[in-house]
Amino acid sequence: MLKPMSERTPRPDWVRRFNLMGDSVGGAGHLIPLEPNELVSLAQSITGLSDFGDFDGDWRSRLDSMVTAIENESNLSVVGRLMTRQEILRSLQTRLYMTRRLDETPAILDEVIEAPIIVTGQGRSGTSILFELLSLDPDARSIAAWEATHPVSTGLDVDTMIARTEPEQELWADIQPEYATVHEHRSDLPVECITPMMPSFASFQWWIENSLTTWMPDFVAALQFHTVFLKMLQYGKPKKTWVLKTPVYLPVLDLVFQFFPDAWVMLTHRDPLKTLPSGMSTLASVRWQRSDVVDLENLTAGAAGSYDLMVHVKQRRDNGDFPDRITDIHFLDQMRDPVAGIQKAYAKVGRTVGDTHAKRIQDYLDNKPKGKFGKHAYQPEDWGFTKAGIREQTKVYVDAYGVELED
């Protein structure tokens, strides 16, 4: 049996005490309700708006089914329920503000998202650092975390918005300090697409945060919402290339090219001996922040099979099933020479790394050294794997892409 999360990463006292408050009154749900009707009415009352929009289909049914699954399956703690309630209420308000903005300026929907650069790949394979470095291109733009959560202008300056959205980003590491070694959350950093997709109530973000088996993301609805979201942020701004990212795009590349036919996809690769246990550690950590119950055995079962998907993608590329707009980036190449690594990826896209971009990359890395918040320590055996087992289960993937091993 795998060691439980309570023994791996004990919680700070303040988190433990907050969660015990739920036990003292018969359950966390009595303190922090997640009832959809109440949250919908509250969002309308706070904003003075009533129309949530229908640009992504039946959002209300998705919200209801999602909350039902969370209540029945996720065993959220007091802190977990507080975070989830805030996210749902914030997402509902975002829908209201977006709908008003679209009613005021219908020309937003005429915008075209032209040739975005989309970073995807196995989780923990270097998608985040590549995404952040690409976002430094002066001719490109990404979605900052504060924009992802508050996309419609409130009239407040950026510094105020960054401060206001800090809790939703940095609270994660307050709840579990070790999480800072895994991934840095900050309001001014670019954020992956599943965060701005949250108001669709179809985003994979909800699944990542909660242990769910009867509810799954609706990728079509999520991308419908996201397209409108991007058009709204783009409207009236200088023309720049979007840089987008999430590993979740990997299994739905057909849909990605359906919504963004001229997209350039940058597919990242890294030794599975590094990515597989690290990915399990990351997902378990996210769920441990919100629940006392994390089923590690279920979480890790079949995880290595995700590399079969990478092989399938390679086969389909070779067969011409995807547009010839996918380029491969290997983590070790990127780390040895970040500028040269991006220039190599840009070569197929028809872009170059200019002097300003190169300097920004170097400055960024100088201020964000590896291990800035400590070492993310993990071993395959910690998560029910063995090195030999990982090597055997992922050999076809490693050979197909020529992935350099790191052991």
Kindly state whether residue 181 falls inside one of the protein's structural domains.
yes
CB 232 within 8 Å of CB 101: yes
Number of domains in the chain: 1
Confidence at residue 304, expressed as pLDDT on a 0 to 100 scale: 84
Residue tagged 């991308």 (tokens): 223
* Domain-located, residue 337: yes
State pTM to two decimals.
0.95
CB-based contact 235:108 (threshold 8 Å): yes
Give the Cα-Cα-Cα angle 97, 102, 103 (nearest 5 degrees). 100
Query: Is residue 53 domain-resident?
Result: yes
Residue 240 is predicted with a pLDDT of 97
Q: Report the pLDDT value the prediction gives residue 93, as an integer from 0 to 100.
A: 97
Task: Assess contact for 250 and 122: CB atoms under 8 A.
Answer: yes
In a domain, 6, yes or no: no
338 vs 353: CA distance, rounded Å: 11
Q: Kindly report the CATH number assigned to the domain that includes residue 190.
A: 3.40.50.300
Q: Do the domain assignments include residue 1?
A: no
Does residue 315 sit within a domain?
yes
Mean pLDDT over 205-217 rounds to 96
Q: What CA–CA distance (Å, rounded) separates 220 from 65? A: 17
- Please check the confidence at residue 193 and state whether its pLDDT lies above 80: yes
Q: Render pLDDT for 286-310 as a digit per residue (tens, 0 to 9).
A: 999 999 999 999 888 878 888 999 9
Give the mean model confidence (pLDDT) for residues 76-89.
97
pLDDT at 372: 58
> Domain for residue 9, yes or no?
no
The DSSP annotation for 78-144 comes to HHHHHHHHHHHHHHHHHHHHHHHHHHH-GGGGG----S-EEEEESTTSSHHHHHHHHTT-TTEE--B
Task: Residue 365: give the domain boundaries.
Answer: 28-401
CA 202 to chain centre: 13
Q: Using one digit for the tens of pLDDT, what is the confidence trace for 220-270?
A: 999 999 999 999 999 999 999 999 999 999 999 999 999 999 999 999 999
Tell me whether residue 193 is in a domain. Answer: yes
Tokens of 134: 């690409």
- What pLDDT, in 10s, does the model give residues 271-285? 999 999 999 999 999
Tens-place pLDDT, residues 139-182: 999 999 999 999 998 888 989 999 999 888 889 999 999 888 88
Q: C-alpha distances in angstroms, 209 versus 46, 76, 198, 360, 366?
A: 26, 10, 12, 33, 31
Which residue, 183, 186, 191, 179, is CA-closest to 132? Answer: 191
